[in-house]
A and B are shown apart, each in its own frame.
Chain A
């Protein structure tokens, strides 16, 4: 991957985040976040994302060819939405010939609480009664992951919190959805932050870019944490007008 002068200290970073119901786009660099667009309801991700990128660039008076790096939320999150951001980000990285940095949605949720004394537990709704979560605690210079990302029923999260017997700060749309169960099972604080955001994405990516921890667009991989549902829905398929088809096509 060529990482020319655009990836120095003054690198401009485009951040794309679509792992939950929010679409979030930011541009930033060593001056911090220069532009941010966020919408948590309304039209679907694919309709919103590209116009949002155009908008942020225009408002921040930045053209795409000034970018030195594309950062993207690699999940975990809702698969279809996540892939919209990943597909667009990888295509931009490829077309602009710039390196990329992928960051976990759970890291992004934890980041705003990096100065908390509590164990920070970002929780993302995984549907089907399950949540994605990980645990972090404050260390000099940032946050350290103390429990790796996983997916499981809410009861398992509560059991994990109990086992830790430390003060806990839960954050994220999953924590909000299962607020009652989490608080009943284990007394903890629930933060207001609901969605991972492209703001922290750009900030975290900038720190990593200074350490040259980037990869090529082809090496950006989603974090699913869950095997694909392998059911074939013939009815949906026929209606959708696709299919394995005899000679598929």
Chain B
């Protein structure tokens, strides 16, 4: 299947890797025509995390109406769609399979290319989607419930992994601490809200590996929070939340600045759900100001999982590699691999 990929190429993106069922239409890799996200967060809240089987069932139920809504909102007919892009990993296998199966069936029915997209790569495009004037290279800090990565993007499709977490993801640390403090789920917004009332300097939590390298570690911080609360039963929860958040933000920003300096980046971009955290956004803005970098802070809805970023990544992948085969499956452990030697 031969396709010209240009500014008019309209791609339907589909995302079902975790607990958001999403569809979007994006033209030319950067022009969002419509984007629809149906969150399952309430289905999972009482369990304190995402329950895979519940997520898979919900995706199957929600996907058709979500796609239909994205088409109606865009006001386009089926025959205007040039390709179907879908997350093939990483993620929950049962959840991924719903999107992949539907996306390939749509591509077959419409006789257009199917493009399998790495969810992590898609997060890298979120900042560029809203600010097409982005000057490369940039360092992207991708922080979510499952990942914490520092990536250098030299040009679309060309990137290099600079550093990552060696244990818990940043978002996972938020979730676990929120659970321990009884703040509910999801942990990020819950901690952030309580932290507003607290003193970020109240407790000096450890900042592991702060002064060397580009990898991060949050496991020790999580344990320190648990121990501190056990040893000081009367401690103010708001102070704990604020001090914990300050430690996470400090480490992430220190590493991102170091990465930007090492690769001589022109800017620093955020991606992933943790990038919706206000303290992190402010700290990144301050750091960019101080270092003479441009800051790319996607809107909160572009930080969390959405299908516009999948369609955008699909446009770049289709342009660079062409269509994916129809026997593509789901790859729950898919990684972000550098496209050039590190």
Q: Let me know if A88 and B102 touch, CB within 8 A.
A: yes
Residue A95 is within 8 A (CB to CB) of chain B in the complex:
yes
B6 within 8 Å of A by Cβ? no
Closest residue of B by beta carbon distance from A65: B109
Question: What are the residues of chain A within 8 A of B293 when measuring CB–CB?
Answer: none
Contact with A along B79-121 (1 / 0, CB 8 A): 0000000000111111101111111111011100000000110
Asked, given contacts A230-B54, A237-B50, A246-B171, whether A88 binds B104 with beta carbons under 8 Å apart, the answer is: yes
Q: How far does the Cβ of B334 sit from chain A's closest Cβ, in whole Å?
A: 8
Q: Which residues of B contact A79 (CB under 8 A)?
A: 53, 56-57, 94
B144 at the interface (CB under 8 A from A): yes
- A80 pairs with B171, CB closer than 8 A: no
Check if B90 sits within 8 Å of A87, measured CB to CB: no
* A83 contacts B98, C-beta separation under 8 Å: yes
Q: Could you tell me if B171 and A53 are in contact, using CB atoms closer than 8 angstroms?
A: no
Task: Report yes or no: B273 in contact with A80, Cβ–Cβ below 8 A.
Answer: no
Query: B170–A246 contact, CB under 8 A?
Result: yes
A211 at the interface (CB under 8 A from B): no
- For the side of the interface on A, what is the size category? 35 or more
Report B-chain residues with C-beta under 8 Å of the C-beta of A140.
Answer: none
Is A192 part of the contact surface with B, judged by Cβ < 8 Å?
A: no
Do residues A241 and B51 form an inter-chain contact, with CB atoms below 8 A? Answer: no
Given the known interface contacts A50-B326, A91-B109, A247-B303, the answer about A232 and B101 at a Cβ–Cβ threshold of 8 Å is: no
Interface residues of A in 94-152 (CB under 8 A from B): 94-96
- Closest-by-CB residue of B relative to A218 is B64
Chain B nearest CB: distance from A218 CB in Å?
6
Task: Tell me whether B47 and A249 are in contact (CB under 8 A).
Answer: no
Q: Given A96-B109, A240-B92, does the pair A247, B97 have CB atoms closer than 8 Å?
A: no
- The verdict on A240 contacting B146 (CB below 8 Å), with A80-B94, A87-B60 known, is yes
Residues in chain A near residue B104, CB distance under 8 A: 50, 88
Q: Is the CB of B53 within 8 A of A229?
A: yes
B137 contacts chain A at the CB level, 8 A cutoff: no
Question: How far does the alpha carbon of A89 sit from the alpha carbon of B272 in the complex, in Å?
Answer: 32
Interface residues on B, range: 35 or more
In the docked arrangement, what's the CA distance between A45 and B17, Å? 18
Question: Complex: how many Å from CA A43 to CA B328?
Answer: 11
Do B101 and A49 touch (CB < 8 A)?
Answer: yes
Q: What's the nearest-Cβ distance from chain A to residue B290, in Å?
A: 25
Contacts from A to B (Cβ < 8 Å): 43-51, 53-54, 64, 79-80, 83-92, 94-96, 217-218, 221-222, 224, 228-234, 237-249
Cβ of B277 within 8 Å of any chain A Cβ, yes or no, is yes
Alpha-carbon distance A95/B78, docked complex (angstroms): 8
Q: Which of A47, A48, A241 has the most CB of B within 10 A?
A: A241
Residue of A nearest to B54 (CB): A228
Once A90-B102, A247-B171 are accepted as A-B contacts, the answer to whether A43 and B327 lie under 8 Å apart by CB is yes
**List of A residues within 8 angstroms of B147 by Cβ:** 241
Are B94 and A83 neighbours in the complex by a CB distance under 8 Å? yes
CB distance from B170 to the nearest CB of A (A): 7
**Nearest opposing residue in chain A for B89, CB measure:** A241
A80 and B329 CA atoms in complex are apart in Å by 13
For residue B215, CB closer than 8 A to chain A, the reply is no
Given contacts A234-B49, A244-B49, A245-B146, list 8 more A-B pairs with CB under 8 A: A46-B101, A64-B108, A95-B78, A233-B52, A240-B333, A242-B18, A245-B174, A248-B304
* Stretch of B26-34, B185-193, B196-204, B311-319 that contacts chain A: B185-193
State the Cβ distance, B54 to closest chain A Cβ, in Å: 5
CA distance A47 to B97 in the complex (A): 10
Chain A CB within 8 A of B152 CB: no
Q: Which B residues are CB-close (under 8 A) to A64?
A: 108-109
A47 to B328 Cα, complex, angstroms:
6
Q: Which residues of B contact A45 (CB under 8 A)?
A: 97
| B53 close to A54 (CB less than 8 A) | no
Q: Which of A43, A86, A243 has the most CB of B within 10 A?
A: A243
CB-defined contacts of B305 to chain A, threshold 8 Å: 248-249
What is the CB-to-nearest-CB distance from A100 to chain B, in angstroms, rounded to a whole number?
Answer: 11
Is there a chain A Cβ closer than 8 Å to B5's Cβ?
no
Most-contacted residue by chain A among B61, B64, B67, B277 (CB, 10 A): B64
Among B122-176, those with CB < 8 Å from A are 123, 144-147, 168-175
> Are the C-beta atoms of A242 and B90 separated by less than 8 Å?
yes
Contact A248 B48 (CB under 8 A): no
| Residue B20, interface by CB 8 Å | yes
If A243-B175, A244-B50 touch, whether A237 touches B98 (CB-CB below 8 Å) is no
